[in-house]
């Protein structure tokens, strides 16, 4: 904040990997009975979303939904489902090339408080790595 102007202040935020709040399944369908077309269905966990929504309201942080293996169209579809339900805790969403790309960008974003991900990958993020157990105690 410079002279009371908050427009240049970066909001504190957590990156939330989609694996921490959803289960993905790959569905293959035939198009014109000749071509196989694959699509990832995203099944969101409503309990995890509820906890994140309450957390953002209490603490005042912003959440960004990130992934590395979904397309932006699939991520937009998941965000639209959340918007229709009225329970979207995410202000931003991004698709990265890989987990390594997320990790490489973390030092350049001082506003990022942590990355919420599954326990198998949380150590890749260093001190930014957080699980649900770390955030909510269980």
What domains can be seen in the chain, in order of their start residue? 13-136 (3.40.50.1000)
**What are the tens digits of pLDDT across the range 68-114?**
988 898 889 889 988 888 878 899 999 999 999 999 999 999 999 99
Query: Which pLDDT belongs to residue 5?
Result: 64
Reduced to 3 states (helix: H, G, I; strand: E, B; else coil), residue 61 is coil
Q: Can you tell me the distance from the alpha carbon of 14 to that of 133, in angstroms, rounded to the nearest whole number?
A: 15
pTM of the model: 0.81
Reduced to 3 states (helix: H, G, I; strand: E, B; else coil), residue 106 is helix
- Residue whose C-alpha is closest to residue 125's, from 11, 16, 10: 16
Bridge partners (DSSP) listed for residue 13: 62, 112
């Amino acid at each position: 904040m410079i002279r009371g102007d908050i427009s240049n202040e970066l909001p504190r935020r957590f990156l939330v990997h989609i694996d921490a709040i959803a289960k993905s399944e790959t569905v293959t369908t035939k198009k014109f009975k000749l071509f196989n077309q694959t699509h990832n269905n995203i099944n969101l966990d409503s309990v995890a979303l509820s906890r994140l929504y309450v957390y953002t309201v209490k603490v005042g942080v912003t959440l960004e939904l990130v992934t590395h293996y979904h397309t932006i169209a699939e991520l937009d579809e998941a965000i639209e489902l959340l918007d229709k339900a009225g329970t979207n805790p995410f202000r931003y969403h991004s698709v990265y090339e890989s987990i390594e790309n997320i990790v490489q960008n973390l030092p350049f974003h001082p506003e990022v408080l942590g990355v919420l991900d599954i326990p198998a990958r949380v150590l890749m993020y260093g001190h930014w790595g957080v699980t649900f157990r770390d955030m909510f105690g269980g």
